[in-house]
Structure 1
Amino acid sequence: MSDENPFAKMMQQGQDWARQFNPDMSSFVPKGFADLFPTMSADMMETFFGKGLNPDGLDAKTRLLLTLTGLTITGAAAEDQIRITVRHLIAAGATRQEIAEAIAQAGLFGGVPAMTTAMTLATEELSKDDDA
């Protein structure tokens, strides 16, 4: 039995792959990335993230709510990803209540500061929807 951590090995392989694909990726910081990333249509999300590939699996909205929960726990390091996910949740038909509950639930695991950051980001994205 190997003493090597399989997660560390996988992480190293991922980092090596990213460097081979694009050497600049090793210093990539996604700040401002949310503004560059387009929002997919609900049909496209369902095809790629939801029941399109796995008819018996989770739908796109549920997968995105789980993603938002994980990103909230991650905290401030995932600000742009939280913004992108909230935009996609809106497109997938999630309600403000569902988005808020996913973030609040994550607060139990990621802490109040992480929850507050995610709730602030989500509120900003939802207010953009109000302005449209």
Structure 2
Amino acid sequence: MTDPKNPFDAMMRAGQEWAKSMNPALESFMPKGFEGMWPTLSADMMEATMGKTFNPEGLDAKTRLLLTLTGLTIMGAQAETQIRLTVRHAREAGATKQEVAETIAQAAMFGGVPAMTKAMTLANEVMEEDSNKDSDV
């Protein structure tokens, strides 16, 4: 092996060149903030689609979103966009900042402290953005 190039780097460069040829704007695309492309669903919409509307005896949307947040945290908090979206939607569905924090902290028992720390950082960023939006109104 006389080629000192990293095959992963070569693959990434090839992918970036392909994306650039398809759409020049993709050259500077950054995944952070990607979740901003999707609007936050209203609490009523979330309750209708994933809450008690079709299953009155089942879980409400807020609980389902908090359970989703638990799973995302346990996975190692690798899915940053999904965590951000889930926190944003859980807050809209009625979850308090305390409930979000407790959900992430509980997941540390299964996913570890590093996963909890990463998820908590992401959640705090989302909740801080929400607080800033509220103060702008």
- Tell me if both proteins adopt one fold, taking TM over 0.5 as the criterion: yes
1:125 alignment partner in structure 2: 126
Question: Aligned partners of 2:31, 2:122: CA distance in 1, in Å?
Answer: 14
Q: Once the 2 structures are TM-superposed, how far is the Cα of residue 69 of structure 1 from its aligned partner?
A: 0.2
CA shift for structure 1 position 37: 1.6
**1:1-132 pair list within 5 angstroms:** 31-32=31-32, 33-132=34-133
Q: Distance in 2 between matches of 1:106 and 1:86?
A: 14
Q: 1:65 to 1:76 in 2, by over 3 A?
A: closer
Q: CA deviation at 1:31?
A: 3.0
Q: Which has the larger radius of gyration?
A: 2
3-state SS, counterpart of residue 76 of structure 1: coil
Q: Normalising by the residue count of structure 2, what TM-score does the alignment of the two structures yield?
A: 0.72
Aligned residues: 103
2-structure distance, mates of 1:53, 1:68: 22
Q: Please name the residue that 1:19 is paired with.
A: none
Q: CA deviation at 1:52?
A: 1.0
**Amino acid of the residue matched to residue 81 of structure 1?**
Q
Q: What residue number does 1:6 align with?
A: none
TM-score by length of structure 1 reads 0.75
Give the share of equivalent positions with the same residue, in percent. 66
Q: Which runs of 5+ in 2 are unaligned?
A: 1-29
For 2:79 and 2:91, locate their aligned partners in 1 and report how far apart those are by CA, in whole Å: 18
Deviations 1:69-112 (A, max 9, x none): 00011123211100000000110111011000000000110001
- Please say which of residues 98-107 and 33-42 is displaced more in the overlay: 33-42
CA contact (8 A) 2:77 2:116 kept: no
For structure 1, list consecutive stretches of 5 or more residues without a partner in the other structure: 1-29
